Amino acid sequence: MRTNLQHLDKIKVAAVSYLNTKPLLYGVKRSPALLSQMELIEDFPSKIGKMLVDNEVDLGLIPVAYIPQLKDWKIVSNYCIGSVGPVETVCLFSEVPVEQIETVILDYQSFSSINLCKVIFAHFWKKKVTYQKATPGYIDQIKGTTAGVIIGDRVFEQKYGLHPQKYIYDLAEVWTSFTGLPFMMAAWIANKPLPAAFIHDFDLANKVGLDNLAAVSKENPYGYFDLETYYREKISYQVTEDKMKALDLFLNLMKQTETETEIQDTSN
């Protein structure tokens, strides 16, 4: 347990391993001063969120849907993984239109987008479906009236690969069309007080890649989508007042959705 940092402890930082996070880590990985104070772990979002909740790390770019599970939490950076309208890489894939979907498989790598999907079904599309937890390889099970949420780089591969499903709903776009707000999927969240100087330098380092998106894209060759377009036009990296408003609304709707699910369970 890492309740309080000791003077000589390295700060454990966990970040999303997807392409969308490369701009934020570009400067961090080029800063010997920061690297000497921290240990960087990269993994998929739900895993790093769990690590912050379990206090295995001190700071993480974690799915915001984990916030209710954190005793102590603070958003410590001006940069995040967000969207203003369509984001490309948070999608519901289906062979049938939404009205006919009966079951939704929820990406095990996600925590914000799977909850966003539940919120959208419950509050915006107002449709009851059965949810299934995905296991690796679940993408092959998206067939007939069983749809599936996919996030991250695998969305590009599914969308622009050989066998995309007929219906692809960009859930960030759906959120914005119903709320008029942007969305924030993941933010840099600390679960304990961290040295102010470190946080200051870490935040500045996050901006370096955002100021050099052409170089970041060049460093990460990718065949399915133009990364510079993804970074400039799809992902929105700034924490803004509207994204904080969206976070508030999302956490509220998520709580209501959980309560509704509980009520359904007791009545069964």
Q: Which is nearer to ligand ISJ, 42 or 201 (CB)?
A: 42
Distance CA 26, CA 216 (A): 7
* Binding letters toward ligand ISJ, positions 32-61, x by CB under 6 A: -------------x----------------
Residue from 76, 184, 186, 239 that binds ligand ISJ (CB under 6 A)?
A: 186
Is 250 near ligand ISJ (CB under 6 A)? no
Q: How far is the CB of 92 from ligand ISJ (least distance, A)?
A: 12
Q: Which residue has the tokens 């925590």?
A: 111
**Residue-by-residue DSSP string for 93-150:** EESS-GGG--EEEEPTT-SHHHHHHHHIIIIIS----EEEE--TTGGGG--TTEEEEE
Q: From residue 110, give the alpha-carbon distance in Å to each of 133, 181, 221, 236, 246.
A: 11, 21, 24, 18, 18
Is 152 near ligand ISJ (CB under 6 A)? yes
Residue from 17, 77, 94, 110 that binds ligand ISJ (CB under 6 A)?
A: 110
Residue from 34, 57, 92, 151 that binds ligand ISJ (CB under 6 A)?
A: 151
Name beta bridge partners: 238.
Answer: 79
Residue from 51, 81, 174, 199 that binds ligand ISJ (CB under 6 A)?
A: 81
Is 176 near ligand ISJ (CB under 6 A)? no
Distance CA 15, CA 17 (A): 6
Which amino acid is it at 13?
Answer: V
Binding-site ranges for ligand ISJ (CB under 6 A)? 16, 18, 20, 45, 63, 81, 87, 89-90, 110-113, 151-152, 185-186
